[in-house]
Structure 1
Amino acid sequence: MNTIIYKELSAYFSSLAAYVTIAIFLVVLGLFLWVFPQSSILEYGYASLDSLFGTIPYLFMFLIPAISMRSFSEEKKEGTFELLATKPLTDWQILLGKFFAILLVVLIALLPTLVYYTSVYQLGNPVGNIDTGAVIGSYVGCVLLASVFTAIGVFSSSITKNQIVAFAIAVFLCFFFFNGFNSLSQLLSLQYISFFISNLGVDEHYQSVGRGVLDTRDLVYFISVSAIFLVITRTILRSRKW
């Protein structure tokens, strides 16, 4: 599996696209955090990173599919998966290698945002007047959210040879799992089970973790959704009807 992780990271960072994608993510996030008046920290009047963690999920919906769309689609298009399958690697090792490689790239993209925390920490009055516990919880939520979106992205890439189609499917599924269930819960005809439906969505659990309290139910949810998509992807790989 380590071989696959190294191979994927090398392939990704050997192209300019990797750096451009991460740079766009950080620039757009910085604009929402400091420039746009509707979400700028400077307009809040108090030290908070709520706008940062409120924006990240929507940027993840595009960043992660952009990173993951090539994971299996490229292998299928170029016919190299059969060669990969001949190596002493199981389907799970190949799948998890690609999954963790993509997740590592997302974490690398997320690391520079710690500068924003340091900046807000220093801007507080007094210095350090920020809820560090909530910030830590929000970063944990970002990692868990990234794992779900990565599993969705890998799944989307496994069902088509076209990277653009894989990207579009992943964006749709990420958006639906993040916002779709909340929208469904607000339908008049479904109000009597709205709480249950909203809890099927990612946003409900992401907000819960972001409050700084890591509930076991939230952790189980993120792991379960990621595992479901990985199991489905492994089933697709096992069939190998490419």
Structure 2
Amino acid sequence: MLAILYKEISGFFSSLVAYITIAAFLIVTGLFLFVFPESSILDYGYAGLDSFFNIAPYIFMFLIPAITMRSLAEERKDGTFELLATRPITEWDIVIGKFLASVAIVLLTLIPTLIYYFSVYQLGVIKGNVDTGAVIGSYIGLLLLGSAFVSLGLFASSLGKNQVIAFTIAVFLCFFFFSGFDSISQILSFQSVSSYLMAIGINQHYQSISRGVLDTRDLVYFLSFSAVFLLFTKTILGGRKW
């Protein structure tokens, strides 16, 4: 599993696509945070990173599928998955290794955004007048959200050999599980059903953690969500192997 983890990370950063993807994420979030007047923190009147944490999930819907689309689809297209299947490793080793590698890449992508926090920290009328607890909670929520999207991306990548199709399916799944259930709940008039549907979706749990409150229910949700789709991925790989 560690060999697969190292292989995935080194393979990702050995291509120009990796740096373009990360640079695009930083540029887009920077524009929303400091340039565009509708979301610029310079026009807020208070120190906060709300606009960054509100826009980041939607950028993740495209960034993470771009990271995961080649993980399994390329292995099957190039015939290297059959080589992996003959090695003394299990499907779980393959899935968990690729999952952890993609999550590590997401984490490495988020680390440079800490400059946004230090900028807000310094720009406040009162230096340091920023809710650090909420920022930490939002970063944890964003990492958990990224992990959930990675599990969806790996699942989409396991369905076929075409990376473009894997990317498209992953984007759809990420959008549906993040916003789809909220949209459906707004259509329904039954409050109990609407609340249940919103609880199934990712957005409600992400917003809860972003407030700086680490509820065990939200943590269990994200861990269970990722585990379920990793199980689906492992099942598909097992079927392909046989």
* TM-score range relative to shorter protein: over 0.9
| Matched position secondary structure for 1:69 | helix
CA root-mean-square deviation? 1.0
Aligned equivalent of 2:200: 200
Aligned equivalent of 2:146: 146
Amino acid at match of 2:230: L
| Matched position secondary structure for 2:149 | helix
| Matched position secondary structure for 1:160 | coil
Aligned equivalent of 1:171: 171
Structure 2: how far apart are the matches of 1:130 and 1:25?
24
Aligned equivalent of 2:19: 19
User: Residue by residue, what CA displacement relative to the aligned partner does 1:192-231 show, whole Å, maximum 9, x if unpaired?
Assistant: 4111111111000000000101001000100111011000
Matched, 1:37 2:37: yes
TM-score relative to the length of structure 2:
0.98
Structure 1: how far apart are the matches of 2:50 and 2:78?
43
Structure 1: how far apart are the matches of 2:103 and 2:71?
12
Aligned equivalent of 2:124: 124
The structural deviation recorded for 1:71 is 0.3
TM-score relative to the length of structure 1:
0.98
Contact 2:85 2:241 in 1 (8 A): no
Contact 2:144 2:222 in 1 (8 A): yes
Amino acid at match of 1:15: S
The structural deviation recorded for 1:241 is 5.6
Aligned equivalent of 2:112: 112
Aligned equivalent of 2:136: 136
How many percent identity over aligned positions?
64
Aligned equivalent of 1:212: 212
Amino acid at match of 1:24: A
Contact 2:82 2:241 in 1 (8 A): no
Structure 1: how far apart are the matches of 2:138 and 2:225?
19
Aligned equivalent of 1:61: 61
The structural deviation recorded for 1:189 is 4.1
Q: Detail structure 1 runs of 4+ shifted over 4 Å in the superposition.
A: none
Aligned equivalent of 2:99: 99
Aligned length: 242
Gaps of 5+ in 2: none
| Matched position secondary structure for 2:113 | helix
Contact 1:184 1:190 in 2 (8 A): no
Amino acid at match of 2:137: G
The structural deviation recorded for 1:32 is 0.5
